[in-house]
Amino acid sequence: MGFEMAARLARGGADLTVWNRTRAKAETLTKYGARIADDLPALAACDIVFCMVSTWDDVRQVIAGPAGLLSVGAAAPRMVVECSSISLEGSAELRALLSARGIELLAAPVSGNAKVIKAGRLSFVCSGPRAAFEAALPYLRMIAPSASYVGEGELARMVKICHNVFLGVVTQSLAEITVLAQKAGVPRHAFLDFMNQSVMGSAFTRYKTPAFVNLDFKVTFTPYLLRKDLDLGLDAGRRYGVPMPLASITRDVVQTLIGRGMTDEDFAKLLVLQADASGLKLESENVEVSDGL
């Protein structure tokens, strides 16, 4: 995700310095004009720092860890735009520790995978000071056509958690009905062709279609990250007194995927799990299908 976001910033004309833990993965960004930083504190001289890692623990490590962004001297950026999918509590803790150094935080999680970013279809949902949102907007627009401002504080995290609960539930449901249709005799490509054009079809059902039809499970989002987001959703449901029966079942289905060792594969493997549970051995249909991007 971070790579494609950085590529769009650099191509959009931003004066960009990039750091990635595995430096080699960032190196090709230099062809778009980005500089590669040797360490995180080198980014403290930047005006705005975008952060895209995995979990809140990783965010804390890269921002406030012993070798993190703020670990050397008094230099500090004006603003951090934090885009990882993290909890409300983590985001609030981040806001407090940045604020103590006079740095603003824009919480800016995203909807869309790396291919969606490349296709220029990513969406940001943002919260924090309105002025910080306005200041970051020209850069957000280089990465994505849409950036919704939903309010102060950590509200964007709540929206992103809701979004990803929906992602998990919809994917599991799509896996169930695709396997059901196939067992009854309908090829997956024919079934999804109809679904994608029906009122129930969406950008998401379209871009998951190649995975479902041709079993192309090149990772876009891991079951591990999806489980994290479903857990965040269930935690929020408990806190706000909202029953979430579908999210709860989906969380355990994703856990089963992980328990079977599919930790680092694409979460679309929910289809394979569903087929296994239905006594169906899936094979690629080898049909050219569009991902709609």
Ligand X SMILES: NC(=O)c1ccc[n+]([C@@H]2O[C@H](COP(=O)([O-])OP(=O)(O)OC[C@H]3O[C@@H](n4cnc5c(N)ncnc54)[C@H](OP(=O)(O)O)[C@@H]3O)[C@@H](O)[C@H]2O)c1
Binding site for ligand X (CB under 6 A): 1-2, 20-22, 25, 52-54, 58, 61-62, 84-85, 110, 113, 220-221, 225
The whole-angstrom distance between residue 276's C-alpha and the CA centroid of its chain comes to 27
Question: Any idea how long the chain is?
Answer: 293
Q: Which two tokens stand for residue 13?
A: 């004309």
- Give the helix, strand, coil percentages of the chain, each rounded to 5: 55, 10, 35
CB of 185 to ligand X, least distance (A): 33
**Cβ nearer to ligand X, comparing 160 with 182:** 160
**Cβ nearer to ligand X, comparing 144 with 253:** 144
**Cβ nearer to ligand X, comparing 85 with 172:** 85
**Cβ nearer to ligand X, comparing 173 with 220:** 220
3-state secondary structure of 172: helix
CB of 24 to ligand X, least distance (A): 9
CB of 246 to ligand X, least distance (A): 20
CB of 176 to ligand X, least distance (A): 21
CA-to-CA dists, residue 185 to 138, 182, 246, 270, 274, angstroms: 50, 5, 27, 20, 16
Query: In angstroms, rounded to a whole number, what is the distance separating the alpha carbons of residues 19 and 168?
Result: 31
CB of 26 to ligand X, least distance (A): 8
**Cβ nearer to ligand X, comparing 70 with 191:** 70
Sequence-distant (≥ 6) Cβ neighbours of residue 22 within 8 angstroms = none
Query: In angstroms, rounded to a whole number, what is the distance separating the alpha carbons of residues 39 and 25?
Result: 15
CB of 181 to ligand X, least distance (A): 26
In 3D, which of 98, 70, 81 has the Cα closest to residue 9?
81
**Cβ nearer to ligand X, comparing 182 with 270:** 270
